[in-house]
Amino acid sequence: MSLRYLSAKAAQQIDEELMSTAGAFSIDQLMELAGLACAQTVARVFDKDKYPRVLVCCGPGNQGGDGLVAARHLGLFGYRPIIYMPKPGAKDLYQRLKKQCDNMEIPTIPPSTELGPLEDALASSDVVLDAIFGFSFKPPIRAPFDSALPLLTESKLPIVSVDIPSGWDVEKGNAEGVGLNPDVLLSLTAPKEGARLFQGRHFLGGRFVPKTLEQKFELHLPPYPGSDQIVELSGSSQKL
C-alpha cells in the first residue's frame, strides 16, 4: 500500500489525537522526538566536518519549538548551531526550550528590525534548518518573515525544511512562488499533500506514531531502519 499524504484537516486531526487519550502524548514529548529527528536529518545529509555551522531559523509556534530542540541536539552532535528567531514564541514551553539552548551556550542572533544580523549569520553558516512555518501556514507571508525568507533563498546555502517548506501551502505546495526551495525535507508523522511537489531528498520522522493511529488513518508508514528516528522515502532525489 502506498504512503498516505495528508490534507491540512487530516494532519490537524492526527496531531489532536496524538495528544488526546487516544495517543496519550504530551506536546513536550512530541516536540522532543520531532526535534531529534530534525537534528538526525541534518547529520545524515550534512557531515559536521564539512558543514559544522547550522543556522537554525525558528518561528514562534510549535515548528519553532522543534527547531530549538534540534539546535540543542545538533550542539550535542558536535555541530555549531546558531539560532535565528524573527519573532520569538511567547509560550512557556518555547521559553524553556530556548533556555535549554542558552544553557548549552548556543548563540542567538539578537532581535532586530534590521536584516544585517541575519545577513552576517548567513555569511558565516554552512547550512540552514528551516523551522519557521508549520502546516497551519496560509499565505501571504507577513512581516517580519516576508523580508527574511528571500534572504535565506538568496544566500544559496543548502536548506533543510521541517514538515513543509516555509511559505508553502500544506496542500498546494509553493503555488504562490513565495516559499523556500529546500534541498532536504523532513516530513513529520506523514508527508503533507503539498510535499508531493518536492524534488529533493525527502525523509520521514515520526517513529512515535502508535499502531492504532497508523491503522485508523491508513498511513501505511514505511519501517524505520535500526534505531533511526528517520527514514528516507523511496523516490527521494539523491542529488546531495
Feature table: binding site: 62-66, 130, 134-140, 163, 166
What does R_g of the chain's alpha carbons equal in angstroms?
A: 17
| Annotated binding-site residue numbers for (6S)-NADPHX | 62-66, 134-140, 163
The conformation of residue 173, written as its DSSP 8-state character, comes to B
Edge-to-edge strand list for the sheet holding 127-131: 80-84, 53-58, 127-131, 159-162, 184-188, 201-205, 230-232
| Annotated binding-site residue numbers for K(+) | 63, 130, 166
Per-residue exposure over 52-78, b if at least 16 CB sit within 10 Å of its own CB, e if not? bebbbbbbbbbbbbbbbbbbbbbbeee
The number of beta carbons lying within 10 Å of the beta carbon of residue 35 is 26
Give the CA distances from residue 162 to residues 49, 61, 116, 219, in Å, rounded to whole numbers and listed in that order: 23, 13, 25, 19
